[in-house]
Amino acid sequence: MVGRANVASRIYAFATLLTVTVVPVARGAATVSIGLQSNDTSREIQALMGILQDEQAHKDRSDLLLYAIERLGELRATAAIDHLVKLLTFRRTFKLEEVSGGRANKPVTPLGRYPAAGALAQIGKPALPALVKVIESNESGSDVSEAAIWTVREIFRPVPAERGMYLREAAAKASDTEGARRLRLAAKKEDDLLKRVLQH
């Protein structure tokens, strides 16, 4: 595992390429600057969340954004859940795909393709309410809804029978009928998937 000092150094190196040495992080109505070389975990998390909010990183430095997403997952940073949810459809492109016309040389899992989904899965159950909100408020079958469902599936991997139950319970508490319908549909999808797995 990479040590915290090395992690901070890597963040700093990436940030230098972006021509910044600190990352602005919103805190309430104020904006503060967090030094990127701090060894303190909470400060590291704040700096990483600042990268997630940096539009330049989104446009020009996907490697920096990818690193921040994955590191927040490793840290199980619950403070970053809302930021990660907004990046559920951020798609990783592998180097070999860039030189082979978009073809991966081996199968890529959804959580490997969508790093924010993988990070939220690492954070685990604290991310479930935010993921339910995504499923409830987005069209069934949309990319963001599917990414949220994949993440819920991964979180419940140790107890797969509970994922459909959890989604049905969430549907019962949904704020509107359409959201409830979407959650029930997701629950049925998970129940059907589990049945197919158990039959093999």
pLDDT tens, residue by residue, 94-120? 666 555 455 555 556 667 789 999 999
Angle (CA) 30-35-39 rounded to 5° is 125
Give the pLDDT of residue 103. 55
Q: What is the pLDDT of residues 154-170, one digit of tens each?
A: 999 999 999 999 999 99
List of long-range contacts for 159-163, beta carbons under 8 Å, 24+ apart: 160/194, 160/197, 161/194, 163/187, 163/190, 163/194
Q: Is 186 left (phi over 0), alpha (psi -120 to 50) or beta?
A: alpha
Residue 40: pLDDT band (50, 70, 90) is confident
Give the pLDDT of residue 19. 34
C-alpha–C-alpha distance, residues 136 and 120, integer Å: 17
Average pLDDT value for the chain: 80
